[in-house]
Structure formats: C-alpha cells, structure tokens
A and B are shown apart, each in its own frame.
Chain A
Amino acid sequence: MEYAVIFLPLFGAIFGYLSKYISDLTSQITTTFFVCVTAAISIILFYNGVINNDYGNYLIYEWISSGDFVVNWSVNIDPLSSIMLVVVTLISALVHIYSIGYMKHDPNKPRFMSYLSLFTFSMIVLVVSDNFLQLFFGWEGVGLCSYLLIGFWYKKDSANKAAIKAFIVNRVGDFGFALGIFLIFMFFGTVNYSEVFEITPKFSSETINFLGFNINLITLICLFLFIGAMGKSAQFFLHTWLPDAMEGPTPVSALIHAATMVTAGVFLVVRCSPIFEYSQIALNFVAIIGMLTAFFAASVALVQNDIKRIIAYSTCSQLGYMFFATGVGAYNVAIFHLFTHAFFKALLFLGSGSVIHSLKEEQDIRKMGGIWRQMPYTWIAMIVGTLALTGFPFLSGYYSKDAIIEFAYLKGTNIGYFAAGIGIVTALMTAMYSWRLIFKTFHGKFNNLDLSKFEIKDSGILIIFPLVILILGSIFSGIFFKELLIGHHYNDFWQSSILILKSIDHSNVPYWILFITPLLVTLAIPISYYLYIINNKILEKIKIKNQLIYKFLLNKWYIDEIYDFTFVRPSQIIGSFLWKSGDIKTIDRFGPDGISKIVKTLSKKTTKFQSGYIYDYAFVMLIGLSLLLTIFIFYK
C-alpha cells in the first residue's frame, strides 16, 4: 500500500497521456481515478499512523552508489510525511475533478491531466523521501511540472515567459539547496535524514572557513537549505516568479501555487528541524525573511487588480507566516497552518477560477462586480474562503494563524515580539485586501462592458463539488485537528519527526493577544465595505495624495525591475561581449585566424622575391654577400 501511494499517480500520468489516442474522457477518468485512490490510501495511512502508530520506511531500490555516496529510492512514512500526503493527495484529487469541468473547452485535456498527475507523483516523491537527494529529485520534479503547467497555454508569450522565469528563479534557490546537500555530505558523510540528524549535535560548534569567512557549519548548512526553501516557497528576494505564475490555468494555481508545491519550502525547514534547532542565527534569518515576506506581499496585494494575482500575493504572505512560525521554533504550528491554508487557499483559487470561467476569462476585478446573485455557490465558497483566510473566529484560519502569532509572542525574544507585531498588522492588511476582492468582485455595480449580466451563470457540478468539500475543510480542519497537531500533547502525534529543543509554554496566553486579531479582522469587514462599496471617493483621494506609495506598491516594490537591471540584462550583455569580443575578436583573431594571416602575408612577401628579373636576384645576392662579409669581419 505504501508503494501504491508513489506509483499510482505515475501510472495515472503515463496512462492518462497515452489514452489521448482513445479519447479525452478516458484520460480524464484514468488520471482522476488513480489520484482519488491515492488520496484514499493516504487518508488510511494517516489514520493508521495516528491510531495504531503504524509508521515505517520502505525501500524501493538503490539509486546511486559511488564510493561512500549511497542513495536509495524509498517510501518513508512518518507523522510529518503522512499529514503532508493527506494534504497533497486530497487537494490534488479535488483539483483533478475540478479540472474536468474547468478545461471542458480546451483541446489539450489529456496533456493537462497527465501533467497534473505527474506533479502529484513528484510531490509525493518529495514528501516521502528519506534522504536529501530523493527530496531534491521531487523538488526539481515539481519545479518541472510547474514550468510545464504555467506554460500550458504555449501560444501565449506571457505564459512562456512566466514559465521560464519560474523555473530559473527556482534554479537559483536549488543552487543553494544543492550546496547545502554537498556540505552535508562532505561533513556528515551521508545524505540520509536519520543518520544526518543523529550526528548533527556533534557538529553544533564546528566552524569552517567558507570563502574566507569563519562560519558555524550548522548555520551555513541551514542557510543554504533555506535558500532552496525561499525559491520554492516564493519568499522575499526569490518571490518574483509566483505572481507571474498565475498565467497558468487556475486549477494549477490552486494545486501547485497555493496548496502544495509552494509549501515544500516550509516542509523542508520543518523536516530539517533537527538541524535548524542547532543554529539560532539561521532560525532568526528564517523568521526575518518570513516576516518581511508576509508584510511585503500583503502590502502589494492591497492595490493589485488581477483577481488571481491578489490571491497569489496572499499565498506568498501566508507562506511568510509559516516561515516565521518555524523561525521561532513552532514547527508544528507551521505545518498546522500549512494544512488549513491548503484548504482555504485552494478554495479561494478554485472559486476565483469559477468566476473567471463564468466571465469568459476576465481576471480584472475592476471589470466585475454585483454578480453574487448570479453565482450563489461560488459566492458562498469565496466568502467562506475569505473568512477562513482572514482568521474569522472558529474557522480554520483562526486557529492556525492566531496560534502562530501567539507562539511568536510567547517565544519571549525580541524577534518573537517583533514577529507577533508584524503578524497582527499583516492580519489586518490580509482582511482588507481579501474583502476588497470580495466586494469588488461580487458586490456593487456590474462593470463589465463586454458581457451582459444575465449571461453569467454559476458553474456546473464538477466545479461546485470540489468547492463544497473544500468549504467543509476550510470550516472544520482547524477545530478538528487543533488538539492533535498543536495541543498540549502534540508530541504524541509528531514523535521524532520534528525536533523542538525548547518547547514554548502555551498555557498562559495574555488575553489581549487572544482577542486583538479576531477583533481587527472582524472590524475590517464593515470598514472595507464602507471603503470599497459605499464611499469609494475616500480611497481615490488617498490614492492621489500618496501617488508615490501607490505606484511603489502597484509595481511590487520594483523588485522585478531591479532584477532585470542587475541580473538579466548584464548576463545577456556579458554573453554577447564574451562571444563577439572574447571568442571572435581575441581568441580567433590571435589564434587560428591570426596565424593563417601571418603565414599568408609572409608568403605573399616572399613571392615578391621571385620576380624573374636577373638584376633582382643579383641585387639580393649582393646584399646577402655583403651582410655575410660584415658579420664575418666583425666576429672574427
């Protein structure tokens, strides 16, 4: 059964692709069926783990063996991987079903379904790995699928560009990740988790000289691994690909760019908690990057107009929350937020997909409005998703997000207090942009000139059914799993899969912190209703007065422009320069071309001597003779 988890989606991907020769429907059914079975198995595995403590490591075969570098393919089921499996396969199954409805008019259905299954396979490989290299395989595999799916509509130039950008920015992250793996192998002599984690404490005070700096070994390893995590989880500096990735079809955004792949970075940090726990510097760095991302992304989301980009920035911001949770050492809370976030963010994306679908591929929220009566199911789904995301009391986000802020505060360090403060401010911003999205999309005036309001209908059952499941998940996943994942006896569940050296005492939470976030996010609803629906002139005035800040936010802090200026263009210029000036003008000119030119000129010159006139020859002979005589006289 453990093996089935990994291979069923792969079979699904292969059969799904091949069955395009039979019919599109066959392919859709095969892939969906295989993934649904996988989801069922994952839930059984999770259940077995929780109830019967049934975990284990199942070897597939040896992958690479070179000297002492030995790596296996294996399926490793432990508490962390089993809960990740549930998230991945469940969301994936729902997205498969949704895609059958969503991609109804697309000519390339088998390809799409097969990519989705291939993605699921890679993600599972990543999650169930028992060593860093298999993790890296899955890591690059999901990156590949993300590339393929972002660029799925290959006729669109913007989609192709976004796909390449996603892949290359991720490569930069992977570069750090790979260096981390090299370091681990070099000092620990192995890349298996269990062996690495076992000997980590021995190296905790080892320092090495890295490019002239003396750095603590563990810190360096953690920082490199975290660069990988930053790339995959779109953290600040390496986040630029995620908003552009919204060029892909919406189901892809829901599955890959919200619920699963982008959380792989968080998973990595949590998986490596036995290493990170030994480096306070690295943890602080993680926390700071997390805070920065949470704040930055939320601030940008406030002014964007593309419905999917708003949600993308929101994802980025929520990932920031997860990272600063890990940064303060609350790994279980990070995974809890990852778990609940998967439901409500997938719900929001699939809901927005439903809107886009009904509005004939319109994504600009300025061209929507007032359609909630036309699409009641989607509207409810989006409302539930938004409530859960903002942390409205008793929905899933309330439990996980507030827990992050509380744990950060209770950590008792400066970073912790600061993180809690950023968390509260960001929660307010989250509420503002989320409700802005809802009100501009579903309420107020209908602003679309191309469509008549009465043409708009809610989507079909295949689209609504996954939404219903996700609504249930968004409401109940928090309240049901809170005790298991972050309760007082959290260790009964997590066991050795995460390591927390100094656990945070969660019994005495100050009352004000329990109330402040829910209060703020609840107040945000009427405020944003007032600002965006009743009296939107105030905002216009603010916008005009603070033109500079508005532009700054609208252009995403100008990060893309900076990167273009510092990395993309210079490498193109250097490339041309090296080619034209290095290869052609220097190496070839002084090398082969130069030599042949010299030979040619020399031989041309010498041919002049053979003029055929006797007096020329006589003259040359005379000069030669006198030269010889001179030399002879001088050296005698």
Chain B
Amino acid sequence: MNFPILSSITFLPLIGAFFVFLTRSEKTEKNNGAIYISIFTSFLNFFISLFLWYSFDTKTSEFQFVEEIDWISGFIKFKFGIDGISILFILLTTLIVPIAIISCINSVKLRIKEFLIALLVLETFMIGVFCSLDLVVFYLFFEAGLIPMFLIIGIWGGPKKVYSAFKFFLFTLLGSVLMLVAIIAIYWITGTTDVTEIYQIKIPHEFQYLLWLAFFSSFAVKLPMWPVHTWLPDAHVEAPTPGSVILAAILLKMAGYGFLRFSIGLFPIASDYFTPLIFALSVIAVVYTSLVALMQDDMKKLIAYSSVAHMGFVTIGIFTFNKQGIEGSILQMISHGLISAALFLSVGILYDRTHSRLIKSYGGIVNILPKYSLFFMVFALATLGLPGTSGFVGEFLVLVGTFKVNFLVAVLASIGVILAAAYILWLYKRVIFGKLENPQLKKINDVNYLETSMLTVLCVMILLFGFYPDPLLETIKVSVDNLISNYNLEINNKLTLK
C-alpha cells in the first residue's frame, strides 16, 4: 500500500489542533504559539494537497489514492478515495482555511486558542467529507462538521449568537436525521455502505424516490435552497469573520458535492424524476433572494442572501445533466468559495475597524481606504459575474447548459444576473463612494500587509480562473464525463425496460 496521503491531509489538522491545545494562555491573551502552529499546519496541508493535485491523474475516472481499512469488521469500512471533482473541493478547503486562520489574528480577541482548535478540527471534518467513499464515514464527517461551527457561532458570535446557533443547528439536524435513516435503508437494500460497490449494484427504482428525498432534505438545508435558507443570513450575521468565511466558502459546498456524488450517482432515476422540483426551488431562490438582498441594510446579510442566489445556479447546473451545466456548477462552487470568502473578509476588515455592519454607517470609504476599495471592487464585479472573473465562467456555463434543457428556467435565472448587478453595485455605492460623513470613519487605516496579502491571493485566483479556467476544467473533465455517461446509461435502461 502506498503512502496514505488522503488520511494525512485529513488528519493533519487534527494533530495541529492537539498541539494548539498544549499551548497555554489566558482567555484574553494573544496566543502567538497557537497562531503559529495553526498557520504552519494549515499551510503544510495546503502544500500537501497541491502535491496531491500534481500527482493526480486527470485521464481516468477511477477513484484514486484509495485507502481502505476495516473499521467495524464486516459492516463499515473506512474508505477514502478521490476523483477529479473531490480534489478541487479539497484544494478549496486547504486554501481557505489558512486564510481564515490568518484573519483570526485581527478578528478574534477572546479565547483564540480554542477558536483555532475549532477551526482545525473543522478542517479535518470538511476534508473528510470530500474524501469519504463510504456512506457512514461520509455521514459522520458531514454531521460532525456541525459541532465546531455551532460552537464558533455560539461562543464567538454577536449579540444574537445563541438564537442563530440553535437555528443553524436545528435546521441542519432536521435534514440529516432523514439522511441517516436513508443510509441505513441503503445498507439493508444493498448489503453495503461502500459507495463504489453501490454504484455497481445499483439501487432498485422503487426505493430510489424516497431515498433521494431523504438525501435531498439534508443537502437542501445545507446548500441552502429556498425555503429552508433562513438560517444562513442569521448564522452569517452572528458568526465571527473566519466563521463566515468557512461557512460560505466550504460548508455550503459540501451539499453541492453531496448532490453530485450521491443524489445523482446513487439515484439517477429519482434525480431525473425530481428535476422539476429542483429547478423550481432554485429559480425561486435565485430571483427571490436576489430581490431580498436588494433591500438589506446589513452588509453580511446582503452577502448571505447573494450566496443563496449563487448556490441556486449550482443546483440548476447540476440537474441539467449535461457537460456545460455540471462543469459550470462545479466551477461556480469553486468560484463562489473564493468570492464569498473574499467578500466576508472585506466586510470583516471594516467591522474590525468600526464595529458596524450596517450599510448606512459607511459611505465615502474610498477617500480613506483606496486599496481596500480597489479589492472590494474586484470582488463586487466577480459577484455580479463580470467576464474575466471566475464568477462569469461558472454562471455562463450553467446557463448555457440550462438553456439546452429548459428555456424558461434559463431565462428566469438570467434575471438573477441583472438583479445581482443591482444589489452589489448599490451596496458598493453606499459603502465606498460618496462623501465621507461619519466622523468615526476618519480615523481608520487602510488595509495592512496581512490583510493585503490575504485579499491579493483571493483576487489573483478570481482573475486567474476568469481568464484561464483550464486547470479546473481539465481536472474535472473525465470525472464529469463518467458521471454523465453513468446517468444516461441508467435512464436508457429504464426506458428500454418500459
């Protein structure tokens, strides 16, 4: 057996967390040791995952770097493996976590050690989700991720933190309980929880519908889809900056990944059957939340609502079952991961300086923070999907794919693109432009080196993948092809049976 690289990536942050735990510090003290350890661990992890990408073979659709250990013998195997789709999400995670950790230095003042532990443990769980090839293992990681996030919101959050934390917990738990039942049912039907084996065995049609709905209820809440999206704005508003960054950039993507890997992979017939439901909910999400975003007076809430709209594009794209749609939605997820992280960081930077998230307490920022305004401009443009930013490539491919399948959905979703321009530019105008009137603002400084470096990394990536998305498209190409051909095979089988 080769070097277990996937397990190393997954559990390295846990080891880091242990070392952070060993450092000593008071509640309010700045704990440099803990910060250095976590930065080192997360960067190391990032470089290992880059190496993983480098040694990844984009020519085959087989799962690679597969590791298998008997866990509960004869029942659950601890099975890891990745394909072209999961590797991008792993990279996204290992890129965003160091950035989130660096942002803690400015944003988290209390119990920083415990905060870092929570973040690192969360990283383990998130990477685990994208590596797992066993349903039970997947479920464990998927649900375990809730706990650190719950703590991050509930302990380090704002004034309404307890309400938000519980809302977040209740919503997500509700969906996942059903998924657990479904996983047990799958075990009784197929006799295994190994995903690759289930792909071979194939679940009988009559069971697929209910099982699909159970998985759907979990993913729909996490994504989130309309109408179970209301936890997201509250969670974002209360969460500290690094928490928001992780939540928007990665946690939401776990659901999109789940749809790709499990809903389509395991239940193709049901996926086909429920496509109209997905389209309807997603289109409502795109238009509805864009309109709601227009009227927000809290910056974080606005960005949270725009996230829901952007994730609406993702689900539309996935359920087109064609190349452009699915590749587009994967690109859209990666790019939204970068953009939303960047936007929440930007809001966090202002919040650290003035302790206000309300749009009306700003205005004229460009007069004193020119560099910051430039960064924010790039991120705003990426949000509205300007060509040349990564946001465009994903959105455009999704719409191209959708148009082939359903005119009406594509047309309605495109309206969301107009609204996106309206809400984000209006936000930009009210916050950045105009005269500097609030006297409190006059004293604040432009972004420092640390902040500049974080924003620069994200900015460069957003532009790079806007002009040259080839590395991403090349990586997912074969896996997406495989996904679609499996799906088509099943659908055709069903038709011939009839």
Contact = CB atoms under 8 A, between A and B. Distances in A.
Contact of B403 (A164, A175, A182): A182
A575 B292 contact: yes
Max chain A C-beta neighbours (<10 A), residue from B396, B419, B469: B396
Interface in A162-194: 163-164, 167-168, 171-172, 175, 178-179, 182-183, 185-186
Contacts of A136: 387
B8 interface: no
Interface in A553-612: 571-572, 574-576, 578-579, 582-584, 587-588, 591-592, 595-596
Nearest to A210: B407
B203 interface: no
A140 interface: yes
B462 to A, nearest CB: 15
A40 B168 CA distance: 62
Interface in B145-181: 166-167, 170-171
A587 B227 contact: yes
B422 to A, nearest CB: 5
Interface in B427-449: 429, 432-435
Contact of B433 (A61, A151, A576): A151
Given A63-B467, A155-B364, A172-B418, A576 B295 contact: yes
Contact of B292 (A133, A163, A179, A578): A578
A117 to B, nearest CB: 16
Contacts of B419: 571
A66 interface: yes
Nearest to A586: B227
A588 B166 CA distance: 13
A66 B473 contact: yes
A480 interface: no
A617 B470 CA distance: 74
Contacts of A574: 291
Contacts of A186: 400, 403-404
B230 interface: yes
Nearest to B419: A571
Contacts of B397: 64, 66, 69
Given A168-B421, A178-B399, A66 B324 contact: yes
A171 B292 contact: no
Interface in B386-439: 386-388, 393, 396-397, 399-400, 403-404, 407-408, 410-411, 414-415, 417-419, 421-422, 425-426, 429, 432-435
Contact of A592 (B230, B400, B433): B230
A61 B468 CA distance: 9
A571 B426 CA distance: 14
Max chain B C-beta neighbours (<10 A), residue from A67, A137, A161, A583: A67
A154 interface: yes
Contacts of B422: 164, 168, 171, 571
B399 to A, nearest CB: 6
A296 B224 CA distance: 48
B231 A592 contact: yes
Max chain B C-beta neighbours (<10 A), residue from A64, A141, A155: A64
Contact of B388 (A65, A137, A575, A582): A137
Contacts of A572: 294-295
Nearest to A140: B387
B473 A64 contact: yes
B123 interface: no
A571 B294 contact: yes
Contacts of B67: none
A133 B393 CA distance: 11
B377 to A, nearest CB: 8
Nearest to A68: B323
B421 A575 contact: no
A140 B420 CA distance: 14
Max chain B C-beta neighbours (<10 A), residue from A61, A68, A171: A171
Contacts of A65: 470, 473
Nearest to B290: A575
B434 A154 contact: yes
B418 A168 contact: yes
Interface in A25-75: 61-69
Contacts of A154: 366, 432-434
Contacts of B233: 583
A160 interface: yes
A587 B230 contact: yes
Contacts of A168: 418, 421-422, 425
B63 interface: no
B429 to A, nearest CB: 5
Contacts of B367: 155
Contacts of B291: 571, 574-575, 578
A162 to B, nearest CB: 11
B167 A592 contact: yes
A578 B284 CA distance: 11
A113 interface: no
Nearest to A153: B433
Contacts of B292: 575, 578-579, 582-583
A167 B384 CA distance: 11
Contacts of A571: 291, 294, 419, 422
A135 to B, nearest CB: 10
B417 A141 contact: no
A141 B227 CA distance: 35
Contacts of A61: 468
Given A62-B470, A155-B434, A579 B418 contact: no
Contacts of A592: 167, 170-171, 230-231
A179 B402 CA distance: 11
A483 interface: no
A173 to B, nearest CB: 10
A164 B328 contact: no
Contacts of B227: 587, 591
Max chain B C-beta neighbours (<10 A), residue from A63, A66, A179, A182: A66
B358 interface: no
Given A69-B400, A579-B296, A64 B393 contact: yes
Interface string B265-309: 000000000000000000000001001111110000000000000
Contact of A179 (B411, B433, B434): B411
A144 interface: yes
A186 B367 CA distance: 47
A582 B418 CA distance: 22
B322 interface: yes
B436 to A, nearest CB: 9
B230 A575 contact: no
Contacts of B470: 62, 65
Contacts of A195: none
B381 interface: yes
B95 to A, nearest CB: 22
A158 to B, nearest CB: 11
A198 interface: no
Contacts of B407: 210-211
B423 to A, nearest CB: 9
Contacts of A616: none
A492 interface: no
Interface of A: 61-69, 133, 136-137, 140-141, 144, 147, 151, 154-155, 157, 160-161, 163-164, 167-168, 171-172, 175, 178-179, 182-183, 185-186, 210-211, 571-572, 574-576, 578-579, 582-584, 587-588, 591-592, 595-596
6 contacts: A64-B397, A172-B418, A179-B410, A179-B411, A575-B295, A595-B170
Given A64-B469, A179-B410, 10 more contacts: A63-B469, A64-B393, A66-B323, A66-B473, A141-B386, A141-B388, A151-B433, A168-B422, A575-B295, A583-B230
The 10 closest A-B pairs by CB, nearest first: A67-B323, A182-B403, A575-B295, A137-B387, A575-B291, A154-B433, A575-B294, A579-B292, A66-B327, A576-B295
